[in-house]
Structure 1
């Protein structure tokens, strides 16, 4: 794979088929995948959710705190990740109700778009970060929103920890629940996700030969520090697409502590002395690019960034699925087409042509 990651380019436009793009994510990227999928369902053909909960699940118990922003953060840490019992997981019917309210208020695309789409959902039975009972509610939510069981691939039997699974021997053991949240399970989960969304894909290539480009993300979120997004994002473009072939776009959303610029925070300061050597592993080693190369798929890797200040309290570099980017503590808007991160990522998709 020819990489130009040290050279910064402007995100370009290609011959992308409208409405045939897709997205997937792990952990906070999976929660964001659900939000972005429902917000812009007209743009997509399907989604992959690995260890992610249902739409607006943080709004299950508004009484958790005086301010909605605080209540949603508490719910994110407790009900949406580690409920004490399965019955306390964010209920799918509540998510469906909130989705229909957002549709009624024209905050998201029509939910009828989901009926023809394909969804991959995974939870490892050894996941101690996001409880499997939470992920099961994501499956039930999509069912209630009209996605037939025949179009949902749901996996909950593999004893995997909190991770995207790879076949890389250097990755963590399958049952691990630790950074960089890439576990060796003997297969590329990204391939399973893409093959479910797009049946009949060609086999992956042994070595990707396209270009991995680094682009400036700031134009898409207006360099707004509330966004908690990195200065740069990445996009993989197969050579055939660079040469003019028609393409589709897949958006791959990393989880917490997985962005290229992630460093840990100590007392509000970036702790660069203990920078983990994760680098760009989510971008380069998870298998998306090799399958994309043989199927003319552009892979877009937007990047969240860690921040721990009064503008955005997000020290682990997570995508916003509980409202930290919202301007109003009383009415957090993190789930609609106008949400800061959703607006930015969708603008990237539009620039690519999707």
Structure 2
């Protein structure tokens, strides 16, 4: 692997993705919860790539995914040069969807991805801002085209007409401008992305609360998963509403941060400012926020969508997908993996 190319990619991806939030975080073991077995996913930029990868790998437990500011699944094809040339910000980008599909089909046949039958009824929500100069909007359009191979076209919603830069859109007036892509990459766009994609994925939701009352807890990712030790941070986060902590039936949503958007870079900004927690309180949702870590080959703490963690990164054999699946299973099974 070419270190110079890796650094170039990661530095660029840092713009893919601080206002540190003062919320306190309670350190604890993950509690016993009553969670339904089907989960939903979302992610921004490298986190969007990861959400789609996890969806294809474990569709048996996923009912829907929201992907913001990302491109086709396996776009990079385990190649830095392909990632830089076709999955990023070059106008001439042209991912080889036919070759990618051939790879994904083979992985399905080998049992390394979920079967198409497990995907076909899922909901997919895709957003790429028209002012995004980091991951070009046409890459989101290609992702929507790619998903039609797995999911009914009627179950795919593509939003590409919003004048957003490369950021997580909210309607929070205290956040920065939607016209720029700046840390912590969460902005006031007069658009409630979390509410829009949760409504699409879950069909009906209640309005978000103005002030959260649940607990943002930290937990040891390495204790839950040996695979997490290879490229994830030691500490992960989960937001747990009081209703879920008290034993009510709840649903699990996994949210993947983008590059330079984990706690090492932005403290608790990502795990508190997207408004997912505000919807969690009113809709009995537990939000899992797994965390990457920076390294020599990944200095901006991106999720792996080009192969820095190994050639199987986009399948069930990928160490990051294994690690997140271990966390999900631990929550769904109350620690009984």
Report the TM-score, using the length of structure 2 for normalisation.
0.88
Partner secondary structure for residue 286 of structure 2: strand
Q: Which residue of 2 aligns with 1:62?
A: none
- What RMSD in Å do the two structures reach over aligned CA positions? 1.9
Aligned pair partner of 2:189 in 185, 188, 204: 185
Q: Which residue of 2 aligns with 1:73?
A: 80
**Structure 1 position 150, deviation (Å):** 2.1
* Cα separation, 1, equivalents of 2:199 and 2:254: 15
Partner secondary structure for residue 89 of structure 1: coil
- The question of whether the paired residues in 2 share the 8 Å contact of 1:209 and 1:293 is answered with yes
Q: Which residue of 1 aligns with 2:300?
A: 316
Partner secondary structure for residue 170 of structure 1: coil
Partner secondary structure for residue 10 of structure 1: coil
Q: Which residue of 1 aligns with 2:235?
A: 232
Q: Which residue of 2 aligns with 1:151?
A: 155
**Structure 1 position 76, deviation (Å):** 1.6
- The question of whether the paired residues in 2 share the 8 Å contact of 1:41 and 1:109 is answered with yes
Q: Which residue of 2 aligns with 1:129?
A: 134
Partner secondary structure for residue 294 of structure 1: helix
* Cα separation, 2, equivalents of 1:38 and 1:55: 9
Q: Which moved more, 1:107-116 or 1:251-260?
A: 107-116
- The question of whether the paired residues in 1 share the 8 Å contact of 2:209 and 2:279 is answered with yes
Q: Which residues of structure 2 form unaligned runs of 5+?
A: 1-21
Partner secondary structure for residue 222 of structure 1: coil
Q: Does residue 55 in structure 1 map to residue 58 in structure 2?
A: no
Alpha carbons of 1:22 and 1:348: their partners in 2 closer, same or farther (altered >3 Å)? Answer: same
- The question of whether the paired residues in 1 share the 8 Å contact of 2:166 and 2:181 is answered with yes
**Structure 1 position 103, deviation (Å):** 0.5
Q: Which moved more, 1:176-185 or 1:231-240?
A: 176-185
- The question of whether the paired residues in 1 share the 8 Å contact of 2:221 and 2:228 is answered with no
**Structure 1 position 223, deviation (Å):** 7.2
Q: Does residue 334 in structure 1 map to residue 307 in structure 2?
A: no
Partner secondary structure for residue 307 of structure 1: coil
**Structure 1 position 11, deviation (Å):** 2.1
Alpha carbons of 1:180 and 1:17: their partners in 2 closer, same or farther (altered >3 Å)? Answer: same
Aligned pair partner of 2:219 in 215, 220, 223: 215
Deviations 1:291-324 (A, max 9, x none): 111111100000111111xxxx000110011111
Q: Does residue 325 in structure 1 map to residue 309 in structure 2?
A: yes
Aligned pair partner of 1:286 in 264, 271, 274: 274
Q: Which residue of 1 aligns with 2:290?
A: 302
Deviations 1:245-284 (A, max 9, x none): 111100000000000013xxxxxxxxxxxxxxx3211111
- The question of whether the paired residues in 2 share the 8 Å contact of 1:89 and 1:133 is answered with no
Alpha carbons of 1:22 and 1:223: their partners in 2 closer, same or farther (altered >3 Å)? Answer: closer
* Cα separation, 2, equivalents of 1:99 and 1:302: 25
State the number of aligned residues.
313
- The question of whether the paired residues in 1 share the 8 Å contact of 2:225 and 2:327 is answered with no
Deviations 1:135-157 (A, max 9, x none): 11110011122x22321111001
- The question of whether the paired residues in 1 share the 8 Å contact of 2:255 and 2:287 is answered with yes
Q: Which residue of 2 aligns with 1:261?
A: 264
Report the TM-score, using the length of structure 1 for normalisation.
0.84
* Cα separation, 1, equivalents of 2:31 and 2:120: 31
* Cα separation, 1, equivalents of 2:306 and 2:39: 25
* Cα separation, 2, equivalents of 1:101 and 1:224: 26
Alpha carbons of 1:248 and 1:224: their partners in 2 closer, same or farther (altered >3 Å)? Answer: closer
